[in-house]
Amino acid sequence: MTQSDAEIQLSVIIPVGDRHADPQSLLAEYSAGLAAVGQRYEIIFVLDGPQTDFATALQDLTAEHNDISIVSLTRPFGEATALMAGFARAAGQLIINLPAYHQIQGMEITKLVAGLDEADLVIARRWPRAGGSFEGLRRSAFHGLIASVTGQRFHDLGCGARVMRRRVLEEITLYGDQHRFLALLADRQGFRVREINVAQSALDRFTGHYRAREYAHRVLDIFTVFFLVRFTKKPLRFFGMLGVSTFVIGGALLAYLVVDRLIFNVGLADRPALLLSSLLVVLGLQLFALGLLGELIIFTHAKNIKDYQVDRVIEFTKASHSDYARRPDKSAIAN
């Protein structure tokens, strides 16, 4: 890290995908908000694949803004990967993730940074939120499903404005579309997460439409996060629960068929239930074995897995120990 990098306090990472605004207007709005924070910052644009027009416009702006750097990926890898690629070049202790299009008003950045006084990660909630009744229903269903499977209640995980301490991304590696669920993953790691209401940009208008495939992807992403949040360190609880349930159902059905055959002399040759019960028993054993293998893998690598965060360390000096012995009701604590 150079002397110049050491003075940077804020690193702003802006992943640029297919949806993006005019870079000049976007940079002007963000720069005004960042200047109000009062700390030295750098802006890192990460081009997720070839973005020729956007890159050309950015290069023209570098003559006026010497705090801009551009990272261009060879092909589209997704916003989460672009965010991690920008973080690899970030020098600041505070990381600001902003979208490449207008979502929040630029001056609201100061409110997000101030929120770090009580948190490690601050995510923005656009409120009051523009949009029709269908959009509101879709958002409610999305966040309601997340709350039901993870137990965490958030209101605007789709907003790309986030501010975090550097150690958050040092401990969490994002891939795929996991950037939307950064708050959930951070909470699982023990980081303090806070959601703050910010003013929505007047230019935040999505004029396209979501295809059915996009909704299917989001549902699969939710169940992926459900497993990561609850069962990454305890795979036997997930697969074991499914395996035991399946085995019990299959075993009960198989026992019924056996009793039916031995006591009531009902034949088994033409009964599909026999095949179904046998498959359920075998499937239950396989699921349980899969969970057990997962537990063995976790046990083998347990020493390399860190699933906690240290908030602070309180040390007692020699002087404070002796003082504590003389006055047990007044301990001297040195942070």
Tokens of 293: 């293998």
Q: Does 40 share its domain with 156? A: yes
Residue 325 inside a domain? The answer is no
Q: Does 196 share its domain with 274? A: no
Q: Does 170 share its domain with 77? A: yes
Residue 213 sits in a domain whose CATH number is 3.90.550.10
End position of a domain, from candidates 213, 229, 245: 229
pLDDT value at residue 333: 42
Burial class (CB in 10 A: 0-12, 13-18, 19+), 291: buried
Q: Which of 154, 104, 107, 130 is nearest to 207 (CA)?
A: 130
End position of a domain, from candidates 188, 211, 229: 229
φ/ψ of 278, rounded to 5, equals -65, -40
End position of a domain, from candidates 229, 255, 279: 229
The model's pLDDT over 248-271, given as tens digits with 9 standing for 90+, comes to: 999 999 999 999 989 988 888 888
Q: Does 217 share its domain with 239? A: no
Q: Can you give the residue range of the structural domain that contains 246?
A: 235-304
pLDDT value at residue 50: 86
Q: Does 287 share its domain with 156? A: no
Displacement of CA 244 from its chain's centroid (Å):
31
Q: Does 240 share its domain with 217? A: no
Q: Does 219 share its domain with 177? A: yes
Segments of the chain scoring below 50 in pLDDT: 1-3, 324, 330-335
Residue 214 inside a domain? The answer is yes
Residue 7 inside a domain? The answer is yes
Longest dimension (CA), the chain: 90
Q: Does 51 share its domain with 173? A: yes
Residue type for position 175: Y
Q: Does 21 share its domain with 115? A: yes
Residue 310 inside a domain? The answer is no
DSSP letters for 72-129:
E-SS---HHHHHHHHHTT---SEEEE--SS--B-GGGHHHHHHGGGG-SEEEEEESSP
* β-bridge pairing 121-126 and 94-97: unpaired
Query: Alpha-carbon distance 177 to 184, whole Å?
Result: 13
**Structural domain total, the chain:** 2
Q: Does 265 share its domain with 143? A: no
Q: Does 165 share its domain with 289? A: no
Query: Alpha-carbon distance 58 to 106, whole Å?
Result: 19
Tokens of 176: 């795929």
Tokens of 96: 């600001």
Q: In three state form, how does the secondary structure of 30-59 look?
A: HHHHHHHHCCCEEEEEEECCCCHHHHHHHH
The model's pLDDT over 36-87, given as tens digits with 9 standing for 90+, comes to: 999 999 999 999 998 888 999 998 898 788 889 999 999 999 999 999 999 9
Residue that is written with structure tokens 């207008």 in the block: 102
pLDDT value at residue 335: 38
Q: Does 61 share its domain with 191? A: yes
pLDDT value at residue 278: 94
pTM of the model: 0.81
